[in-house]
A and B are shown apart, each in its own frame.
Chain A
Amino acid sequence: MRAVALSLRHELIGLAGVVERNVYLTRRYIYWDVAFFVWTVANTLTIVFIAEGIEATGGQIDVERATTTLLIGAVVWAYLGIIFEFLTETVAWERWEGTIEYTFMAPLSRAMHLGGSGVFAVLYGLVRAILLLMVVAAFFGLAFDDANFIAALVVLVVASISFFGIGMMTAVLPLISPEKGAQLGFVAQGMLLVVSGVYYPVDVLPQWMQWLATISPATYALEGIRAAILDGDPLSSMWPQIWPLIVIGVASIPLGLAIFNRGEVYAKRHGKLKRSG
């Protein structure tokens, strides 16, 4: 019993070590982070201006509602991108720096190693998402009079569990293919973008894509967050969005971990952990 408690303690310290390392790195690359944030703001403005563009070209829409709908899509998309980026870089960045063998020969379980990246990604992603929402909302003068931000935040945090599980599946790609694996992570991210109704309702998709939308956590996250911010829906009415997120999260984390472990065995079998590949 004591050995189990001691082992768990070591694992949690290791998880904190991954968070600590990412804090150091973020501090060292802070100006790059500012530059990327500026790019994200510009990208989000490009998307959100579409609502005003439709009205300017004769379309009949509620511009403020459409602007907010697009803004939520862009913010959730940016948040999802950060989670995927951090998890994929768990391997890719270490390979680039040459530290990957030292990390993989440390007595830290892969669940805690990836968990540390996930915890930092969620914290960092939330800060970036909130800042992005505030900056772009201020730019368009959006008031969010009815918004229930607490409910929106809870939905986003619950959705993060599923994003994290899927992120673990993509994190294995640079392990299997040192040269192209990281880029393949964007393919998975792009698939979620298409089917999850980030910028349009999923009803407009072909039927087979709507079926895919039902297994994408981003679909439920977007529905819940939009209901909370646009209509001020309380958390108590969000169960139809929250339970699928819990189910997908509970299924995706062990699945992601199992896939990563298979990838690790493959990499150790074929000598792919070496920096040079």
Chain B
Amino acid sequence: MRELSPVPPDALAVEARDLRKEFVRKDRKRGKRRVPALADVSLTLERGECVAILGQNGSGKSTLVRLLSTLLLPDGGSATVFGYDVVRDGKAVRRLVNRVSVEASFFKKMSPSENLHYASRFYGMTPSETTERIPMILERVGFPSDRRGEPMENLSRGMQQKVALARALLTSPVLLLLDEPTTGLDPRSKLEVQDFIREMRAEHDSTILLCTHDLGEAESLAERVGILDAGRLLALEPAADLKARFAAETLEEAFFAATGRGFEDEQDELDAEERKVLA
């Protein structure tokens, strides 16, 4: 894949400038209106870096991940992945990126092995390349070998998430977008996934953008932590600097100081405008 999308040695892994995305909302009272999901977000990720983005539900984290993975088109600003523009060079970006999201997302009747085989073809991998590689990767993520042939629907969420990690690893992405990969997992599965993320960074030179709810996870995995609130990136710096800036002892306190809200409060991505009016 990298032969077709060579990675320039001096390019930033991610560079977003004033990135903006709006969605249309219709309601009876106010009719049709555009509300921002991401508002002029600028950020950079160095090659090999892990950056965590913290935000409540609906703060714009998934929108950011979708824009970088070419699943959404921005309404303003620009974003590049290793120098390739996410709009103009979509295919080149897709060769370099993979994603693990909160939902494992597989064909439920098909087995882990079948799901991985067909998915790897989309990245140009032949059966001779995947026949040995898939069992190896499944073993590496700690997936039991005797369950490779079972339908996905019979597997626990933790196991499905391991298969999702294996799918991402299979394509050797240079940028890995992790959108709440441990949400809903039991503590043991969560630790296993976190260990695996560390391993991927160490062995694969992957750059990681981690969107998470888990403050401890962000602090332990990432070099820098960002706070995204109502589509705006309020801060992006090392966790220690963030705590110092807001005179906070914990990331949760820093988050509260930055946003004026508790971390567990729900936010509707499309209600950003309404909140601004009420503030």
Interface residues of A (CB under 8 A from B): 3, 6-7, 9-10, 13-14, 16-18, 20-21, 24-25, 28-29, 97-99, 101-109, 265, 268-271, 273-275
Contacts of A13 on B, CB cut-off 8 Å? 121, 124-126
Contact with A along B106-142 (1 / 0, CB 8 A): 1111100010011111111110000000000000000
Neighbouring B residues of A10 by C-beta, 8 Å: 1, 4, 123-124
**With known contacts A13-B126, A28-B110, A105-B97, A268–B73 Cβ distance under 8 A:** yes
By beta carbon, the residue of chain A nearest B118 is: A21
Inter-chain residue pair count (beta carbon < 8 A):
107
Q: Is B204 on the interface with A (CB-CB < 8 A)?
A: no
Q: Name the residue on B nearest A105 (C-beta).
A: B69
Report whether B121 and A99 are in contact in the complex, using a CB–CB cutoff of 8 Å: no
Are B94 and A105 touching (Cβ within 8 A)?
yes
Cβ contacts under 8 Å, A273 to chain B: 66, 71-72
- A106→B105 contact, CB < 8 A: no
Q: How far is the CA of A21 from the CA of B124 in the complex (A)?
A: 15
Q: Is B83 an interface residue (CB 8 A)?
A: no
Which A residues touch B105, using CB under 8 A? 97-99, 101-102, 275
CB distance from A92 to the nearest CB of B (A): 13
Q: Are B122 and A107 in contact (CB under 8 A)?
A: yes
Instruction: Judge whether A105 and B123 touch: CB under 8 Å.
Output: no
Which residues on B sit within 8 Å (CB–CB) of A14?
121-124
Interface of A (DSSP majority class): helix
Q: Which among A98, A268, A270 is the interface contact of B103 at CB below 8 angstroms? A: A98
Binding site for A on B (CB under 8 A): 1, 3-4, 23-24, 66, 69-73, 91, 94-95, 97-99, 101, 103, 105-110, 114, 117-126, 151, 167
Task: Tell me if A24 and B94 are in contact (CB < 8 A).
Answer: no
B71 engages A24 (CB within 8 Å): no
A6 and B122 form a contact (CB under 8 A):
no
Q: Which residue of B lies closest to A99 (CB)?
A: B105
Given A20-B121, A270-B24, does the pair A25, B109 have CB atoms closer than 8 Å?
yes
**What residues of A have a CB within 8 angstroms of the CB of B107 in the complex?**
21, 24-25, 97, 99
Extra pairs beyond A6-B3, A13-B121, A109-B91 (12, CB < 8 Å): A10-B123, A13-B124, A16-B121, A24-B114, A29-B109, A101-B71, A105-B70, A106-B122, A107-B1, A107-B4, A107-B91, A107-B95
Contact yes or no, B121 A269, CB < 8 A: no
Q: Which residue of A lies closest to B103 (CB)?
A: A98
Rounded to whole angstroms, the CA-CA distance of A270 and B107 in the bound complex is: 25
* A101 to B72 alpha-carbon distance, docked (Å): 10
Question: Which of A104, A108, A268 has most B Cβ within 10 Å?
Answer: A268
A17 x B118 contact (CB < 8 A):
yes
Contact A17 B72, beta carbon cutoff 8 Å: no
Chain A residues closer than 8 Å to B70, beta-carbon distance: 104-105, 268
CA distance in complex: A6, B1 (Å): 9
Q: Is the CB of B118 within 8 A of A20?
A: yes
Contact A99 B71, beta carbon cutoff 8 Å = no
Q: Which residue of chain A lies nearest to B21 when distances are taken between CB atoms in the complex? A: A271
- Chain B residues whose CB sits within 8 angstroms of the CB of A98 once the complex forms: 103, 105-106
Residues from chain A with a CB closer than 8 A to the CB of B103 are 98, 275
* Complex Cα gap A10–B103 (Å): 28
Cross-chain contact of B109 among A7, A17, A28, A106 (Cβ < 8 A): A28
Q: Which 7 A-B pairs have the closest CB atoms?
A: A17-B121, A10-B124, A106-B122, A21-B118, A107-B94, A98-B105, A28-B109
Query: Which one of B23, B24, B119 lies within 8 Å of A106 (CB-CB)?
Result: B119
